[in-house]
């Protein structure tokens, strides 16, 4: 596990899918197998369990408890396990944070409250309330395409004053805002949008929380290492080779396509839960072509 305060959760993390059985129930042994695969064979420093890719909106609190416990048992001694606990209800988010802390997770992911469109003062109160509820380090998740409301730079500057708020997973697509936040805070930035991994790393992000990392974690580690070494020629080459993978996985909702790819590879994934729908044969064929163009064979 990481001990570098500049990158509190490591370099390469994946927003892990939640493996399900064919009847839609949680596959705990599959979650352990997938977690071990990502850490031991795909160069992962850590896993985010129950981010959006983990289908958090359709997972009960009891199911989340069981999966976190299983993943911690499988890889918690050698990888950072971060629990996604953010909801659009501050009290519920605090309850989930405390439950995850009791299990022994290493950090918390707290997404911008979605649907109810709080003002910036509400975001700050929400984030600090969740951060106050445990002693764990917190990664904020800034993703206005899903939450509608962006976390503004001034709000991030104030949030960074909280000793437990140490990082941001950025999927805002605003490099100017990222650069200003990095200039004014000590927050560690993680790319939360795979297509922007290289630009975010180039302006100062310390790692990635990836979806395509399920398939290409070792290549993302190579990308990060190239940027850290100042070898932007190599970094651009690695990134360019990954473009078809980024595109293929996000032709539709990322969870759908990653679960389809994992099933084709014989790894635990299972179906998605409604309102998501599994990939069609046509989508799967397009995914095969996209991934093959990125040197990933299903």
Residues assigned a catalytic role: 141, 169
* Token pair in block for residue 221: 């580690």
Instruction: For tokens 């209800």, name the residue.
Output: 89
How many Cβ atoms from other residues are within 10 Å of residue 154's Cβ? 13
Token output for 106: 């290493």
**Cβ-contact 111, 168 below 8 angstroms:** no
Q: Which residues pair with 13 in a beta bridge?
A: 46, 209
Is 181 annotated as a binding-site member?
no
Strand partners of residue 207: 190
Identify the three-state secondary structure at position 262: helix
Task: List helix spans (H) across the chain.
Answer: 28-41, 61-75, 90-103, 120-132, 144-147, 153-159, 175-184, 197-203, 213-228, 232-249, 254-264, 281-293
Angle between helices 213-228 and 232-249 (to 10 degrees): 160
130 annotated to a ligand binding site: no
Could you list the residues known to form a binding site for pyruvate, using ranges.
53, 209
């Amino acid at each position: 596990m990481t001990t570098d305060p500049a990158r509190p959760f490591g370099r390469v993390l994946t927003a892990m899918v939640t493996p399900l059985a064919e009847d839609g129930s949680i596959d705990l042994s599959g979650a352990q197998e997938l977690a071990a695969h990502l850490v031991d064979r795909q160069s992962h420093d850590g896993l985010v369990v129950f981010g959006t890719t983990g289908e958090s909106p359709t997972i009960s609190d009891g199911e989340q408890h069981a999966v976190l416990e299983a993943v911690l048992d499988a890889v918690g001694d050698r990888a950072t396990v971060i629990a996604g606990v953010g909801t659009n209800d501050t009290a519920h988010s605090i309850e989930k944070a405390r439950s995850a802390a009791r299990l022994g997770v290493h950090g918390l992911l707290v997404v911008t409250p979605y649907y109810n469109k709080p003002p910036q003062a509400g975001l700050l109160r929400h984030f600090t309330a969740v951060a106050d509820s445990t002693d764990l380090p917190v990664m904020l998740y800034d993703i206005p395409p899903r939450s509608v409301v962006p976390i503004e730079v001034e709000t991030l500057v104030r949030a960074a004053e909280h000793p437990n708020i140490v990082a941001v997973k950025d999927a805002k697509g605003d490099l100017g805002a990222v650069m200003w936040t990095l200039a004014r805070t000590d927050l560690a930035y993680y790319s939360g949008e795979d297509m922007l991994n290289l630009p975010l790393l180039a302006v100062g992000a310390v790692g990635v929380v990836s979806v395509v990392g399920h398939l290409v974690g070792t290549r993302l580690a190579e990308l990060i290492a190239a940027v850290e070494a100042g070898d932007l020629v190599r970094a651009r080459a690695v990134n360019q080779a990954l473009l078809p993978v980024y595109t293929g996985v996000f032709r539709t909702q990322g969870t759908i396509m990653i679960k389809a790819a994992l099933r084709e590879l014989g790894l635990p994934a299972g179906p998605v839960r409604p309102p998501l729908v599994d990939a069609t044969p046509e989508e799967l064929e397009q995914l095969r072509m996209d991934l093959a163009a990125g040197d990933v064979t299903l």
